[in-house]
Amino acid sequence: MIIALIGIIIGVLIGFYIPYSFNALYSIYLAVGILAAIDSILGAVSAIIKERFDSVIFVTGFLMNFALATILSYIGDRLGVPLYYAAIFVFGTRFFKNTAIIRRGLIEKIRKKIRK
């Protein structure tokens, strides 16, 4: 868990202090890819709270979500159909679901500590 937090902090610091800009043509692909990555991270936190976390499942899910969402957006762009809306809808729905699981899990853990 601490390694993950250190990785996130390093990533954020690199993002702030090393300026890099993407071509506007790729912004949709990048945005959908980032949504997929955030979805995977929230899913991992949810699994940690449920005590069912598996690093192999996390890494493969992270990469597959990112790749699938980006490819779906690209194909939709080539066909002239905004398929990225489907990815945004799915990831948005999962954000709320995972956030609710995380919230419930944290409340239950806090209540157990209070009862002791």
Q: Where are the domains of the chain?
A: 24-115
Give the pLDDT score at 99.
Answer: 93
10-47 pLDDT, tens per residue?
A: 988 988 888 777 788 888 888 888 888 889 889 999 99
Distance (Å, whole) CA 90 – CA 95 = 9
Written as one letter, the residue type at 6 is I
Most confident of 4-13, 21-30, 72-81: 72-81
Distance (Å, whole) CA 32 – CA 8 = 19
The pTM of this model reads 0.76
Distance (Å, whole) CA 12 – CA 6 = 10
Instruction: Name the pLDDT band for 1 (thresholds 50, 70, 90).
Output: low
